[in-house]
Amino acid sequence: MQGMKKLGVGAFALFSTLSARADYTWNFPEPVTPMALDTLHVHNKFMLITAVIFVVVLAIMIYSIITHRKSKGYKPVADKAPSTTVEIFWTLIPFVILLLIDFVIMGIPAYHSVVMMEDTRDQSTMVIKITGSQWRWQYEYLDGDAKGIKFVSNLATSDGQLHNTEDKGEHYLLEVDNPLVLPVGEKVRILMTASDVLHNWWVPQFGSSRVAVPGFIRETWVQVEREGIYRGQCKELCGKGHGYMPVVVNAISKEQFAEWAGKKQAEQQAANDVKEMSKDDLLAQGKTVYEKNCAVCHQVSGAGLPPAFPALTGSKIATGPIFGADGKYAKDSHLDRVLNGKGVMPAWKTTLNDTEIAAVITYERNALGNTAAVDAVLQPAQVKAARE
Q: What is the DSSP string of 129-151?
A: EEEEETTEEEEEE-SSTTTT-EE
Q: Which pLDDT value is given to residue 122?
A: 67
Nearest of 3, 5, 27, 10 to residue 207 by alpha carbon: 27
Q: Which pLDDT value is given to residue 97?
A: 83
Nearest of 157, 122, 140, 329 to residue 246 by alpha carbon: 157
CA distance 241 to 155: 10
Chain center to CA of 8:
45
Q: Which pLDDT value is given to residue 79?
A: 63
| Mean pLDDT, contiguous 10-residue spans, the chain (388 residues) | 45 41 63 90 87 92 88 72 80 85 79 79 84 92 90 88 87 93 93 93 90 92 94 91 93 94 88 82 91 87 86 90 82 89 84 90 91 87 85
Could you give the C-alpha distances from 236 to 135, 141, 198, 243, 371, in angstroms and in order? 12, 24, 7, 10, 39
Q: Which pLDDT value is given to residue 6?
A: 45
Chain center to CA of 242:
9
**pTM across the whole model:** 0.76
Q: Which pLDDT value is given to residue 114?
A: 81
CA distance 226 to 370: 50
CA distance 57 to 100: 17
Q: Which pLDDT value is given to residue 80?
A: 66
| Rg, the chain, Cα only | 30
Query: Judging by DSSP bridges, how do beta strands 246-252 and 180-183 pair with one another?
Result: parallel
Looking at the chain, how many residues does it have? 388
Query: Judging by DSSP bridges, how do beta strands 218-222 and 199-203 pair with one another?
Result: unpaired
Burial class, 203, CB count within 10 angstroms (exposed 0-12 / middle 13-18 / buried 19+): buried
